[in-house]
Structure 1
């Protein structure tokens, strides 16, 4: 059974345009693949522990192949528990608004917790980083108030949103990535019409993905 993790990075819930477009994608995918298992992660409601000194020390011990102290092991177990939810999914659906050219800090916090050696990535002195996730797929739903491809940059913003997410996922081993964009959400003559177009694009992408899953 295919498992999809739907990560909602906006605090606006149903009012969020990124979540609305992502939900349209998910509804269409579920309609075509009723057996799809869906896990929804609303980042503004879950407890995300600080990645503090104990967790950092535990990470370094993993990287150096050293034994962790009891305190470090407890801290690392907490990291592994959170990361395991992410690692167990086959597909990822991200609903991510652009904040100050990048991503909401809550999503960055989550990534900083789960992106760990021995879990999502490894490092070889000779060749560098390599991802540990295999056969995963990610769909990024990206919104921005003023930024859009083709608009003058930096006057209307800079895209550190998609570039960061793709770089992070690639380092973790996720290279099959699609994105859906509703940009800009504010500086558009017909906001509802633009949203409808983005939603239709989401449905069409989901239907295409469903055909791939059916093979």
Structure 2
């Protein structure tokens, strides 16, 4: 039985466009996969640990083949617990609004917490990095209110999708599907863009195996 984890990066609750499209995906997924388990990780719910000096010291200790001690050991335990919550799923749904051309800082924090040696990646000084999240797949919902393909630099740039796309590839998740909702909210076609995105999410949810 598959376990799907929805990782929500928006703090806007019911007002969130990305969460709304995610809800459409999840409704279709549950209808098509009644025996699958669906969990949610709201990155704003206060359970995501920080990744500061103690956690960084722990990471470098592990890289050096040492055991973290004291506060570093506690920070490392928090990072491992968060990774295990993430790794317990074999299917992922990320809902990601665009913030200042990139991803919300809370999603970057999540990535920094779980991206640890021996957990998300391996490293060889000759061969380089190896992603360890094998056999998993992801769907990602990207939203932006102003940026959109073909609108020109005055409407922003996209460091959102390329960043998360590359992180998933680096971590070993090769099977990734995307839904983009990028209406220009100042124009009349915003509702058309929403309908298209929700239709795309619904179809993707149905066939997301």
Counterpart position of 1:127: 127
Report what 2:77 is aligned to.
77
SS of the residue corresponding to residue 7 of structure 1 reads strand
The offset of 1:73, in angstroms, is 2.1
Q: What does the per-residue CA deviation read over 1:59-109, in whole Å, with 9 as the maximum and x for residues that have no partner?
A: 011111123224322221111001111111111101111000000111111
Deviation, 1:185, is: 4.9
Distance 1:9 1:67 in 2: 32
For the pair 1:136 / 2:120, whether they are aligned, the reply is no
Q: Is the 8 A contact 1:62 1:118 kept in 2?
A: no
Measured after TM superposition, the shift of residue 37 of structure 1 is: 0.5
1:162 aligns to 2:161 (yes or no) = yes
Q: How many residues align?
A: 209
Give the alignment's TM-score, normalised by structure 1.
0.92
- Unaligned 5+ segments in structure 2 are none
SS at 2:24's partner residue? helix
- Pairwise CA RMSD: 1.3
Q: Give runs of aligned pairs for residues 4-19 of structure 1, distance below 5 A.
A: 4-19=4-19
Question: CA distance change for structure 1 residues 187 and 135 in 2, over 3 Å: closer, same or farther?
Answer: farther
Alignment partner, residue 58 of structure 1: 58
> Does 2:159 correspond to 1:148?
no
Q: Distance in 1 between matches of 2:172 and 2:110?
A: 17
1:103 paired to 2:103: yes
Aligned to 1:28: 28
